[in-house]
Amino acid sequence: MEDMKEQRMLDYVLENAVRGDPQSVVDKLDQFCRSKEWTMNVGDEKGLILDKVVIEADPSIVLELGTYCGYSAVRIARLLKPGARLLSMELNPVHASVARKMIEFAGVHHMVEVLEGSAEEFIPKLKQTYGVETVDFVFIDHWKDRYLIDTKMLEEFRVLREGSVLLADNVVYPGVPDFLQYVRTCGRYECTNYPSHVQYMNQEDALEKAVFLGYL
């Protein structure tokens, strides 16, 4: 396989971060993206907002839609309590492979599982295959055209419970207007917007938190 940007980013972490130290992996990923090549990790600025929302939620079961190279999986897992689990879904097999190595190097592989495939495929299986009754936190960061469909699927399969926290990246850029309109107007979510910037750039972006109020 040709040497892809994602492979170069993984190699940089393996050479420069500290094995078993998730913070050092996060720091070296940000350093790579600022000094070598831009990649679509959620990044350090939006990452601090993600940290605060995760700490506040203190979740036991986390879903992530869109693993990419594992930056946010490592960033979230480093904040989870013992026994908590993160299931992260990634459609792209090359990214999933890079992410698994990143997560293992960071030493959080005992709490993070990367599911290779689409959210559409895995959400219906969460209960019988992964023993997940409901989830406490969902980080949505995959593809703008899937945010709304997959959120409705989480509702349809009763994966959410009163108080489940959805946190969506890129609600300004690239933008997910249909998802925003839905969570802000359907009556089943309490929404908060967190203005920020596209990772490692000056372009405006934002995160949106949507707390599920129940199957009204």
Ligand X SMILES: Cc1ncccc1-c1cc(O)c2nc[nH]c(=O)c2c1
Segment interacting with ligand X (CB under 6 A) among 4-12, 90-98, 108-116, 169-177: 169-177
Pick from ligand X, Mg ion, none: which does 198 bind, CB < 5 to 8 A by kind?
A: ligand X
Segment interacting with ligand X (CB under 6 A) among 4-12, 74-82, 135-143, 156-164: 135-143
Q: How many residues are recorded in the chain?
A: 216
Nearest to Mg ion of 174, 214 (CB atom): 174
The CB-nearest residue to ligand X is 40
- Is there a binding annotation on residue 74? no
Segment interacting with ligand X (CB under 6 A) among 76-84, 97-105, 146-154, 165-173: 165-173
- Is there a binding annotation on residue 141? yes
Task: Return the HEC string of the chain.
Answer: CCCCHHHHHHHHHHHHCCCCCHHHHHHHHHHHHHHCCCCCCCHHHHHHHHHHHHHHHCCCEEEEECCCCCHHHHHHHCCCCCCCEEEEEECCHHHHHHHHHHHHHHCCCCCEEEEECCHHHHHHHHHHHHCCCCEEEEEECCCHHHHHHHHHHHHHCCCEEEEEEEEECCHHHHHCHHHHHHHHHCCCEEEEEEEEECCCCCCEEEEEEEEECCCC
Q: In whole angstroms, how close is the CB of 94 to Mg ion at the nearest point? A: 18
Kindly state whether residue 169 participates in binding Mg ion, applying the rule CB under 5 A: yes
Residue with tokens 């000056």: 202
Nearest to ligand X of 20, 201 (CB atom): 201
Pick from ligand X, Mg ion, none: which does 44 bind, CB < 5 to 8 A by kind?
A: none
- Is there a binding annotation on residue 42? yes
Kindly state whether residue 170 participates in binding Mg ion, applying the rule CB under 5 A: yes
Binding-site residues, in ranges, read 42, 72, 90, 141, 169-170
Judged by the rule CB under 6 A, the positions of this chain that interact with ligand X are 40, 42, 66, 141-143, 169-170, 173-174, 198-199
